[in-house]
Amino acid sequence: MKIEILQPSCYYHIYNRGIDGTNLFREEKNYPFFLQKYVLHLSEVVDTFAYCQLKNHFHLLIRVKDIEAIRPLIENKTFKSEGLHSVEHLVSKKFANLFNSYTQSFNKVYGRTGSLFETPFRRKHIGHDAYLYRVIAYIHQNPQHHGFVSDFRAYEYSSYHSLLSHKSTRLRREDVLALFQGSDNFVSEHLTVDKENQEWVIEF
């Protein structure tokens, strides 16, 4: 499988699952813990537009930050000593650090050993802004698609409700709502199952 390089200022649908279908999230507390780890490791290098966590996999829509925002990290002596001389290597390394950190904590709590996530993690470049709203809707509709709930709006572990709330968030809420031309359209578009969304369907 060809591994797509994560380029600055580009959008990607990031997704991964537990190795051999292993559950990544066994208990309710695992979901926010993963997000805390995600913020810790990735917030410096990516902006997040949408996410969804299911028992054995997750989806993210991210935009890698521009080169000027990331350059100070690349020039950091610690990163240089690890051979991280480019944005592409740095962002991939940050994701690897996330997965390794979560795995270590998960294994310690549940008395398991070995890998937890499949490698390499999967990513799909979103090359046209017109596709962004489809990917966001697909990500939020995913729990319904997989039968976790009969209505995706009832699912707790996605960014759908955070994007509609007025609470502080690390998500790019204003950008997402602008993409849908407002919250009303955001809601209505999510209620439409676009046949073209089948392009983004990933079976786990």
128, 135 contact by CB (below 8 A)? no
Element (H, E) at 81: helix 77-81
Sheet strand arrangement including 57-64: 46-53, 57-64, 11-17, 122-126
Q: How far apart are CA 121 and CA 99, in angstroms?
A: 9
Residue 202: per-residue pLDDT: 54
Structural domains of the chain, with CATH: 11-200 (3.30.70.1290)
Residue 88: per-residue pLDDT: 72
From first CA to last CA, the distance across the chain in angstroms is 17
Of 106, 139, 155, 131, the C-alpha closest to 15 is 139
Block mean pLDDT (10 aa), the chain, length 204:
84 96 97 98 96 97 93 70 65 94 98 96 88 93 94 97 96 96 95 61 52
Residue 82: per-residue pLDDT: 55
Characterize the bridge pairing of strands 57-64 and 46-53. Answer: antiparallel
